Amino acid sequence: MSDELFEQALQVELVKRIDAVSSYTEEDFGRISGMEWMVFLLLGLLIPCVAVWWAA
Amino acid sequence: MVGGVTIEERIREEALFGRLPLLKEEREYSTRGIISTGFTYAVAAWCFLIGGYSANVVGAVQGIVTLVCGCTIGVIMSAAASALACNRYGLEQIDYTKSCYGQRGARLILLFYIINQIGWTGMILVMFGKGVTNVAAGLGYDGGENLVRLCVLAGLVVGYWVINKGVHVLNVFNSIVFPGLLIVTGFLYWAIFKSADWATICAQPPIDPQDPGLNYILSFEYGLGAGFSWWPGIGFLTRNTDTQRNSLYPQVLTMGFGMGVVCCTGLLAGLVFRSYDPTVWMIQVGGPLFGVLSLLLVAIANVSASAMMMYTAALALRHIGALRALPWGKLTLLGFIPVLAYVIMPSRLYDGGSAFLAYNATMFAPISAVLLVDYFLLRRGRINVSQVFEDAPEGHYWFWHGFNLPALFCAFFGMGLYIWLLNPVTYAAHGPVRFLTASGPATVLPMLLYAILAYLFLVGKSGGYRDTLDALPLRKSNL
């Protein structure tokens, strides 16, 4: 019985949380701009790739 | 109230460690929190082993470059899509992959997730067993293979006990292990450079090189494999971060770059002391006292890490409908059964560890590639959370009978391409692997192919690519 109650509460909680999470906007978590992405990919992918090419 | 625990507390537990979306106000990791947690994960005992595999095939400079760059690139590729989506929607990793691979297709991805967790658990428990055996040998007792088996079994029993006691016990373990491993890493670097100067280390040849044109690529693939090995853990961590930046950058710094640096300890020690196996060289580096102490700490770290991985593997098994209702004790026991293979043939599987490491790149490079295209290009960084939990055929992420066939085809095509280019078990190489690596084509080609197939067969037709992002009422919940 208690497990059934928990299951019901879980489904109600799921719906509540889906509604809450769906209402979040990009700004709520700090949007990463296109320029920032470019810098990140340059530092994170291009430089390691060049380093690997150089050491080969 | 059930067994002294209120329903509210169980729901809170389900949100933190289960599948309920985590709300913004519940997120625990700010920048400092995620960096320290990331380092706790990154400074792990298997780093010494990964570095040792590279020492088998390349020298110091090439090893450092391939390990640090490989780990960094691997983490960026596996984290980019998953981290941002799991952070924004508070979703667990496999739940997020349902938006790309379909409700049932994600269960196929789950299989690779569990292979990764079980494989690493077995590897580090054998490392624990070998460490104990070497300590015993140093004290005059030769336990041989049977002592290793006994230790693996004991590690499994302790791991099972820990995860059934709850995740809080793991936190106690980790609070001891992380600073200890940091001290061991520092001590090892000091001891290595005390034994040999930089020029001597650089002059050391690899321990057991393969094909001359392939050694460098193999070491790079080990680094990439180490980075891609984090794919299953990314969602677990990043759903608990407070911003998009904190979900991505700290992971690259800690589990990518930081892990690569720690792996270099194993590389340099392996080259200087002529063994890839940390349980052998650690006693040579540290001497009888510090070597044994380091090994004991690594042993505790290994049991702790294996418990953590089996914990997340058991959580992942809850995605399978038939297993969802199983009590936690039985569910976790189910996860431990395949690890028993490491009790039966520990040394054989341990010696094949480098193949397993490369196999992580085989599995997760194409899976991540398809996720990147799906999330950033096709969905423009947005999914419908309600549909992630919708198990009815009318749901957005149902595709064809629960499978996104183009996505799965591209992921499996990438895996097949990788194995053709570089077989991680036999090291048989074909095509342009010596110039392009195996992970490169196995990432880029599935991305291009999936973008084409998705525009031809999915967008506007199936998969909810242009449908509403507002929450819809659930017909049949999959939680």
Tell which wins on pLDDT, B177 or B48.
B48
pLDDT at B4: 62
Interface test with A, best of B386, B391, B469 (most A CBs within 10 A): B386
Least confident piece of the model among A24-33, B233-242, B291-300? B291-300
Predicted ipTM?
0.91
Highest mean pLDDT among B127-131, B286-290, B368-372, B471-475: B368-372
B18 touches chain A (CB under 8 A): no
Closest CA to B50 of B252, B269, B249, B248: B269
For B76, phi then psi, to 5°, come to: -60, -45
| Contact residues, B window 428-457, toward A, CB-based 8 Å cutoff | none
Q: How many CB pairs under 8 A join A and B?
A: 103
CA B49/CA B179 separation, integer angstroms: 19
Contacts of A29 in chain B (CB under 8 A): 24, 87-88, 242-244, 247
- Picking from B66, B249, B389, the nearest residue to A52 by CB comes out as B66
Closest CA to B223 of B410, B20, B58, B405: B58
**Closest chain B residue to A20, measured at CA:** B23
Total count of residues recorded for chain A: 56
From A18's Cα to the closest Cα of chain B, the distance in A is 6
> For B69-125, how does the pLDDT look when each residue is reduced to its tens digit (9 = 90+)?
999 999 999 988 899 999 999 998 899 999 999 999 999 999 888 888 888 888 888
From A45's Cα to the closest Cα of chain B, the distance in A is 6
Contacts of B248 in chain A (CB under 8 A): 32, 40
Residue B232: other Cβ atoms inside 10 A: 28
Q: Is the pLDDT of residue B368 over 90?
A: yes
Q: Do B69 and A52 touch (CB under 8 A)?
A: yes
Confidence (pTM): 0.90
B65 touches chain A (CB under 8 A): yes
Contact between B201 and B192 (Cβ < 8 Å): yes
| Percent of chain B scoring above 90 in pLDDT | 44
Torsion of CA B201, B203, B209, B212, to 10 degrees: 140
Interface test with B, best of A6, A13, A26 (most B CBs within 10 A): A13
Contact between B470 and A22 (Cβ < 8 Å): yes
Q: Give the torsion sign (CA, B378, A41, B33, B297).
A: positive
